[in-house]
Structure 1
Amino acid sequence: MSTVAEKQGILLESGTNEIELIEFYLGSQSFGINVHKLREIIPYDEAKTTILPESPPSVVGTFLVRGNTIPLIDLNVHLRRNPGEAAPTAGRQVVLVCEFNRCVNGFLVDGVNQIHRVSWKQIQPLSAFIGRYRPRFTGSFEIDGREILIVDLEHIVAELDPEAGLSYTAPEAVPVSAPTELSLEERRGQCRLFMAEDSAIIRESILRILHSSGYTQICAFVDGEACYDEILVRKKNLKNGDGGEDQLFDLLISDIEMPKLDGLTLCRRVKEDPLLKHIPVIMFSSLITEQMVFHCQQVGADGYISKPQITELVAMIDGYLLK
């Protein structure tokens, strides 16, 4: 079976600030995930499931897909829902086979509805309070009078497997072309970074790791729109003579999935600006696959790294700014 994106003929033009979300059901409530994470949808077959003793309650076990076994997570159980109410599809449960963060996992749900193409501006982020304490959802959008919550599958997997979260091992020092008395940390401290990341937990983790490695001049933004608004302010100040080139920044790190303005659109806007196009842009996202690399290249991204490979991210920043 081909991927859902291939079956539907889906290939969004890069940098249009649109997303395609597949709507699925848990009971009668609608949820959604990015189609780019979905490899395929297959009927749930208990005979292909192997129960794992002493596993977390939401981990059903392993599920056999074309001769390969993948972890199977029951979203009803993990989200602490009561699955007693029947789904509108009134059929067999299905498994969403998803790929992100270089891993493949299966998610057991009660049914699927359809794919929706929406603008990121239609996605409403969760309030900062809810996002901090209930980070299993990244936002919501409204379709035909019903609210659809967007599930943060990456956070769910990290809850079950802490090793899937961000971890950092210091890379080897980057050689310099000329002698210098500055240490690696001091050289990193002279660089000015912009970062757009909508997840408060991931944003704080990246900041903590970058700060500990010496990158201390970082402006972090809750989404691509907030980041681009600040870029416009700095460009205006520079044009008006309110400061020199230090009004700008040396490198931009951006997630791809973000409400209001996604990372691909943010990157495209930077690279289409004659004043900014020389600034390196690194896409740091769980969505980095062969197909997504193509999209990153289309908008002019200089680099792309899959979460949670933050050691590689630090090394790539060094490569652009310290050589």
Structure 2
Amino acid sequence: MENVKRQEILLESGSNEMEIIEFYLCGQSFGINVHKLREIITYDPEVVTHLPDTHPSVLGTLLLRGRTIPLIDTRKHVEIKHRDESDSSNRQVVLVCEFNNLVNGFLVDGVNQIHRVSWEQVQPFSVFLDQFKPRFTGSIHIDDREILILDLEYVIAEINPEASMAYDRSPGATEYATPEARRQKKLMLAEDSALIRAGIARVLAGSGYENLEIFDNGKDCFDRIYELYKQYGPSLGDELHLVISDIEMPKMDGLTVCRKVREQLNLKDLKMVMFSSLINKQMAEKCDLVGADGYVTKPQIPELVEMLDGMLFPKNE
């Protein structure tokens, strides 16, 4: 039975597919990755504890099986101002989500269904929109609807900046490497969130890892690796030392990038690190099965830098 379970996980890993749950805000469709969803509960305003001096988007807290979690008014935070009053509030539900080792509740006007889609169907937003700090990482068309993919990490960072403080801390030298040694290494980063891309790049550069090529989706990252592979062949390792990749990204997810690097290009020595809010026991096993060398939970940048140092500057035996 264990072998069957592992085979099922392997078949799901690197398939470039995901499941999103579609929900509504004022009649408009939005979506999040099902991997972040713990459960859906009926909204009861009578059980919400209101708190003074909190962010305007925070309704209060909910007591969920002995655990107190923040409740966020998603509609208010994404600034949808025109509500259709015919969309009765008694259908509102709370999406209880877990990512980055945090549990939060997101109040929405209703849910539709779960869609299994390919990341190729998800269209990233343009670089032009990134400058306006969008709360969305892309969109997908299903039937006659455009579903916007909500960046929950961005929402939480806006409400609670301390949740993303690790993106502002630049680790110093470790027992493995100094900033001067790090400058000699060539890295790639694939991350769809503009906020997190900027944070990772800033901390890595501050640590010395400034030779960094950045992509906002997995496909462009893989295409660049393939381009270098065609140019340098077995000598690719002299031009690229390590790839850091998010898992959920438009066009191609990080697990698929890793699997294609290992299987299609047969690059066994190129270091691949998954940096994602989705890391849990099952996701870690998927990372292992596609050949990732390591994985770190967002937003633990210091831990990421320490892992890079350990991979790129191994101790002398």
What's the TM-score, normalizing by structure 2? 0.90
1:170 maps to which residue?
Answer: 171
2:210 maps to which residue?
Answer: 216
Per the TM alignment, residue 95 of structure 1 is displaced from its structure 2 partner at its CA by: 0.4
Per the TM alignment, residue 168 of structure 1 is displaced from its structure 2 partner at its CA by: 1.8
The answer to whether the 8 A contact 1:74-1:108 is kept is yes
**Match status 1:270 vs 2:261:** yes
What is the CA–CA distance in structure 2 between the aligned matches of 1:51 and 1:132, rounded to whole Å?
Answer: 34
- The 3 A distance-change label for structure 1 pair 86 and 10 is farther
Per the TM alignment, residue 134 of structure 1 is displaced from its structure 2 partner at its CA by: 3.8
Per the TM alignment, residue 12 of structure 1 is displaced from its structure 2 partner at its CA by: 7.2
What is the CA–CA distance in structure 2 between the aligned matches of 1:290 and 1:89, rounded to whole Å?
Answer: 39
Per the TM alignment, residue 89 of structure 1 is displaced from its structure 2 partner at its CA by: 8.2
Per the TM alignment, residue 132 of structure 1 is displaced from its structure 2 partner at its CA by: 2.5
Correspondence list, 1:16-31, <5 A: 16-31=15-30
**In the alignment, which of 192, 195, 198 is matched to residue 201 of structure 1?**
195
1:35 maps to which residue?
Answer: 34
How many correspondences in the alignment? 305
- The 3 A distance-change label for structure 1 pair 83 and 154 is same
2:69 maps to which residue?
Answer: 70
Correspondence list, 1:77-116, <5 A: 77-82=76-81, 84-86=83-85, 91-116=90-115
Per the TM alignment, residue 92 of structure 1 is displaced from its structure 2 partner at its CA by: 2.3
Amino acid across the alignment from 1:231: I
Q: Secondary structure at the match of 1:133?
A: coil
What is the CA–CA distance in structure 1 between the aligned matches of 2:67 and 2:126, rounded to whole Å?
Answer: 39
What is the CA–CA distance in structure 1 between the aligned matches of 2:79 and 2:27, rounded to whole Å?
Answer: 15
1:253 maps to which residue?
Answer: 244
Deviations 1:228-270 (A, max 9, x none): 111111111124x9xx445541111001111111101001111
**Which sections of structure 2, spanning at least 5 residues, go unmatched?**
1-7
1:319 maps to which residue?
Answer: 310
Q: Percent same amino acid at aligned positions?
A: 55
1:5 maps to which residue?
Answer: none
What is the CA–CA distance in structure 2 between the aligned matches of 1:65 and 1:281, rounded to whole Å?
Answer: 37
- The 3 A distance-change label for structure 1 pair 89 and 23 is farther
Structure with the higher fraction of residues in helix conformation: 2
| Aligned-CA RMSD value | 2.2
Amino acid across the alignment from 1:204: A
2:294 maps to which residue?
Answer: 303
Amino acid across the alignment from 1:322: F
Amino acid across the alignment from 1:297: D
What is the CA–CA distance in structure 1 between the aligned matches of 2:86 and 2:16, rounded to whole Å?
Answer: 31
What is the CA–CA distance in structure 2 between the aligned matches of 1:218 and 1:184, rounded to whole Å?
Answer: 17
The answer to whether the 8 A contact 1:286-1:308 is kept is yes
